[in-house]
Structure 1
Amino acid sequence: MRAIAVIDIGKTNAKLALVDPQSLDEIAVLTRPNTVRPGPPWPHFDIDGHWTFILDGLSQFARCHDVVGISITTHGACAALLDTAGQLAAPILDYEHQGPDSLRTDYDALRPPFDVTGSPRLRAGLNLGAQLHWQFQTMPSLLPRVAHVVTYPQFWGFLLTGQLACDITSLGCHTDLWDIRRGQASDLVAKLGLSEKLTPARAPHERLGHLLPAVAARTGLPVETPVCCGIHDSNASLLPHLLTQPAPFGVVSTGTWVVSLAIGAKAVQLDERRDILVNVNAHGAPVPSARFMGGREHDLALEGAGGQVTWPAMGQVLADGPMLLPTLVPGSGPFAAQSARWAGQEPPLGSDTRAVAVGFYLALVNAECLRLIGQQGPVIVEGPFAGNDAFLAMLGAASGKQILCANSQTGTSQGAALLCGAAHQAGSRKFSITEDILQACKAYAQRWAYCMGAV
């Protein structure tokens, strides 16, 4: 059967998905942990391990399916520095490394303002420009050895095809390197000495090239298999809905990061101090966005002890009122300066009531994200939280919006497959709750806001 292979490198896991180009169903998904390796010279991603995983997975897919194209999507805040031979000039820095903060004052004097780039000033290496500045300052020999800078999806595309590029969505993702008003590199690129080294930005759907002969031989795929340029993962999640859903609407892409994107948003003053940014979508248009590390916070709050979201447990939490208040990941999200605490009796680890209370917490933070970006219309939730009834119920009650759940297991794979000519469709289902549950969730949200000092 014909299928599209999608390379999907998230912050927590690396994935390889096989997608039906007609239904957009995921036929198969392979994963491996995205484990960060220690330095020297700095904490970095396991590129060799990922590459072996990708080649082995493509080989496995090729034995069973007619793979008609390869697409790529990855997390943002990441680039590869290549030398003249096409090898990595340095390991690819983990954006959570705190090193760039040591030169924060120096970097702040260089970076363009928020209204030019749509990039808020973020911690650690979450601004790609801050990463590059810190790397070049702390390793002076690096910049002269760098011949090409490519954003992360296109690094994997380069390994597959030998062709160099960046893409507009990855450059437009809080990098400080992209002028969202002009659709071109910002003046920071020249200040960093990269004017001749940052590879040209292309649209995600453009064909990057065909497989290198060595890759074709290793995987068993035809050398003429096309590889698309690639896309930032939040924009991959947005793309199916961008092509099919009438504006206005919002998309909440859930994973390690929970990213909210508003299409047809009402005009509001975006506050960069609250992890608000402007992404650039696959068509090159700016999109008001907000985010927090929701998947990471979910895991931190549950501490691996489990617990199930059930309707009886939801009723108990709504009645008894235990509430988690932000923030579990310092420096992330709309309440970045606050420290997490429980209001009321903290539910025990491993309990269903704790799982529910955490789901409510994540939804309430997400509702604030939607408010801050002026989101209007229905909200489409994709990714793991689309199966969390506590999250969905509270998000609908707190935001006052109709909640739709994307049918796909991973919207990133579905969106990335569209770049290779898959059918333009996006399935979703309405999420509904009874009136008594709705009113109880609204009352809980009001109490949570009171605890936060918002009312």
Structure 2
Amino acid sequence: MKVAVLDIGKTNVKVALVDMESMAEIAVLTRPNRVREGPPYPHFDIDGIWDFFLDGLRRMHAEHGVDEISVTTHGACFVLLDEAGGLACPVLDYEYDGPDTLVQEYDAIRCAFEDTGAPRLPMGLNVGAQLHWLVETFPDLRERTVQVASYPQYWSGRLTGRFATEPTSLGCHTDLWLPREGRFSDLPERLGLSMAPLAAANDIAGGVTADVASITGLPAGTKVRSGIHDSNASLLPYLHRMPGAFSVVSTGTWVICMSVNGEAVALDPARDTLMNVNALGNPVPSARFMGGREYERIKPETSAPMPADIDQVLDGRKALYPAIETGSGPFGGCAGGWSDDTMTPGQKGAALSLYLAQMTATCLDLIGARGPVIVEGPFAQNELYLDMLAVQVDRKVLISNTATGTSMGASMLCAPCAGSELHLSERHTPRGAPRLSAYGMNWKRIVKDRNTVVAIDEKPIQ
């Protein structure tokens, strides 16, 4: 069976075709995920994504054949739909700061962290804050909105005509979901909005519409799965295949750390820890930072650092300190930077990789992660990052050998028993472990001395 996965990341949009027998991606098409600046506000290029999807499905079906379709998208995105199933308003980019203008009003109605597991975040990172700002800013929007769909279910709905909401997206710091109780919070009712019906990630949303079949050449009624939040797509292959405690680090624009069967710890909203919900509907302690965005913002123009660059950084204790993206992560609200602006590009590249590993290890520690650490996505190719992470966690680090863990995980919504063997390789402790360990200890000491953690007035959640 061949599954076409529509994969929307914050930075890029992909169509990947996965052969479920070999568990290999046999075709991938990619385009940037462009944001239109407005009016009326910065919003995603929904029509451009839709045209790209249809063309990708047409090409992949013509070249290889497509048996089913699955969907995975980034979080912090919901879609307001009108009576005809069209957009009641453009789909707001969660990095727009409009919702910050109504902070006090929203804080008065949002649910407590101990109930939702969702920390209070800036801009539109809390979906509830997005929805509140929209309906208060555009007075006729409530009346025009018939239902609100989560982002993966918007796309599966557009393919089939049946829209829904789903727990992995609802559990992604939205303020809309109670993860322990498995139900909506009362926030949608307070906002005067109706949520689309609930579906599980692997539910069949329906068959493709006649229009979609005509444009793509797909057989009428080709099955479409409801869809899943992208970090949970990365986690899904391991839920039934990894015994005991383990954690998954999904890397991309966001680095999302998720702990399964780890130590029970109190989650701290001041450190951007949260309670996600996995594809089985179970709460998952999580922490994250915008590692991919930080990398793109600050990376030097030259290629990977040379061994001499790494030696000079380790011996000279040259470093990058948190945070670069200050709106989220375990050191949110704190302005960091290079310890030495005169570092060469090679030295900065080495310090950047070490920084990303230290931030990842901090996130894993905050959520009580135990057992092997599985690294998915682009950072799985960064050897210095993996070496430092292995030293800092002092546990087995396993590297996913698939190019896009999100697409592979989403494909398994169609065939959960596919790929019975996990394609993982172990990152052995490097020979320079003592030097990396000493560097890490010094980094932590300096970060602590800089008082980089900013407390907020919310209670930790057990």
Give the TM-score normalised by the residue count of structure 1: 0.96
Q: What is the Cα deviation at residue 316 of structure 1?
A: 3.3
Asked whether the 8 Å contact 1:178–1:184 carries over to 2, the reply is yes
1:215 maps to 2:212: yes
| Aligned partner of 2:335 among 331, 334, 339 | 339
Q: What is the Cα deviation at residue 23 of structure 1?
A: 2.3
Give the match's secondary structure for 1:339: coil
Q: What is the Cα deviation at residue 178 of structure 1?
A: 0.4
| Aligned partner of 2:433 among 418, 422, 438 | 438
Deviations 1:153-179 (A, max 9, x none): 011111100011111100111000001
Asked whether the 8 Å contact 1:8–1:17 carries over to 2, the reply is yes
Deviations 1:362-399 (A, max 9, x none): 11011110110000001000000000011111111112
Asked whether the 8 Å contact 2:390–2:429 carries over to 1, the reply is no
Asked whether the 8 Å contact 2:72–2:152 carries over to 1, the reply is yes
Q: 1:172 matched to which residue of 2?
A: 171
Q: 1:288 matched to which residue of 2?
A: 285
Please list, as runs of the form range in 1=range in 2, the aligned pairs for 1:15-94 lying within 5 A after superposition.
15-94=14-93
Asked whether the 8 Å contact 1:83–1:145 carries over to 2, the reply is yes
Give the match's secondary structure for 1:405: strand
Q: What is the Cα deviation at residue 100 of structure 1?
A: 0.4
Q: 2:395 matched to which residue of 1?
A: 401
Asked whether the 8 Å contact 2:372–2:396 carries over to 1, the reply is yes
Asked whether the 8 Å contact 1:321–1:344 carries over to 2, the reply is no
Asked whether the 8 Å contact 2:163–2:196 carries over to 1, the reply is yes
1:232 maps to 2:226: no
Asked whether the 8 Å contact 1:323–1:344 carries over to 2, the reply is yes
1:439 is aligned with what amino acid?
P
1:330 maps to 2:326: yes
1:279 maps to 2:281: no
- Which whole-Å CA distance do the structure 2 matches of 1:113 and 1:92 have between them? 26
- Which whole-Å CA distance do the structure 2 matches of 1:255 and 1:24 have between them? 21
Q: 2:454 matched to which residue of 1?
A: none
Deviations 1:60-91 (A, max 9, x none): 00111121110000001101111001110100
Give the match's secondary structure for 1:453: helix
Q: 2:459 matched to which residue of 1?
A: none
Q: 1:251 matched to which residue of 2?
A: 248
Q: What is the Cα deviation at residue 55 of structure 1?
A: 0.4
Q: What is the Cα deviation at residue 402 of structure 1?
A: 1.3
| Aligned partner of 1:391 among 376, 385, 388 | 385
Q: What is the Cα deviation at residue 445 of structure 1?
A: 0.1
- Which whole-Å CA distance do the structure 1 matches of 2:343 and 2:426 have between them? 30
- Which whole-Å CA distance do the structure 2 matches of 1:408 and 1:23 have between them? 12
Q: 1:377 matched to which residue of 2?
A: 371
1:352 maps to 2:346: yes
Give the match's secondary structure for 1:120: coil
RMSD (CA atoms): 1.3
Q: What is the Cα deviation at residue 3 of structure 1?
A: 1.3
Q: What is the Cα deviation at residue 115 of structure 1?
A: 1.3
Asked whether the 8 Å contact 2:260–2:369 carries over to 1, the reply is yes
Structure 1 residues 371 and 420, CA gap change in structure 2 (3 angstroms): same
Q: What is the Cα deviation at residue 309 of structure 1?
A: 4.2
Identity of aligned residues (%): 50
Give the match's secondary structure for 2:67: strand
Deviations 1:384-440 (A, max 9, x none): 0000011111111112221110111110001000001150443110012433x1111
Asked whether the 8 Å contact 2:387–2:430 carries over to 1, the reply is no
Structure 1 residues 45 and 306, CA gap change in structure 2 (3 angstroms): farther
- Which whole-Å CA distance do the structure 2 matches of 1:186 and 1:280 have between them? 14
Deviations 1:223-260 (A, max 9, x none): 12110000000000000111211120000000000000
Give the match's secondary structure for 2:66: strand
- Which whole-Å CA distance do the structure 2 matches of 1:82 and 1:432 have between them? 50
Unaligned segments of structure 2, at least 5 residues:
451-462
1:353 is aligned with what amino acid?
Q
Q: What is the Cα deviation at residue 143 of structure 1?
A: 0.8
Unaligned segments of structure 1, at least 5 residues:
none
- Which whole-Å CA distance do the structure 2 matches of 1:410 and 1:313 have between them? 30
- Which whole-Å CA distance do the structure 1 matches of 2:333 and 2:147 have between them? 37
Asked whether the 8 Å contact 1:309–1:388 carries over to 2, the reply is no
2:132 is aligned with what amino acid?
H
Structure 1 residues 444 and 15, CA gap change in structure 2 (3 angstroms): same
Q: 1:420 matched to which residue of 2?
A: 414
Q: 1:112 matched to which residue of 2?
A: 111
Give the match's secondary structure for 1:278: strand
Structure 1 residues 452 and 321, CA gap change in structure 2 (3 angstroms): same
Q: 1:148 matched to which residue of 2?
A: 147
Asked whether the 8 Å contact 1:16–1:30 carries over to 2, the reply is yes
Give the match's secondary structure for 1:202: coil
Moved over 6 A (4+): none
Q: What is the Cα deviation at residue 454 of structure 1?
A: 5.7
Structure 1 residues 418 and 310, CA gap change in structure 2 (3 angstroms): farther
1:200 is aligned with what amino acid?
P
- Which whole-Å CA distance do the structure 2 matches of 1:375 and 1:310 have between them? 32
Q: 2:455 matched to which residue of 1?
A: none
Q: 2:189 matched to which residue of 1?
A: 190
Deviations 1:277-328 (A, max 9, x none): 000000000000000000000111115x132144443333222321000101
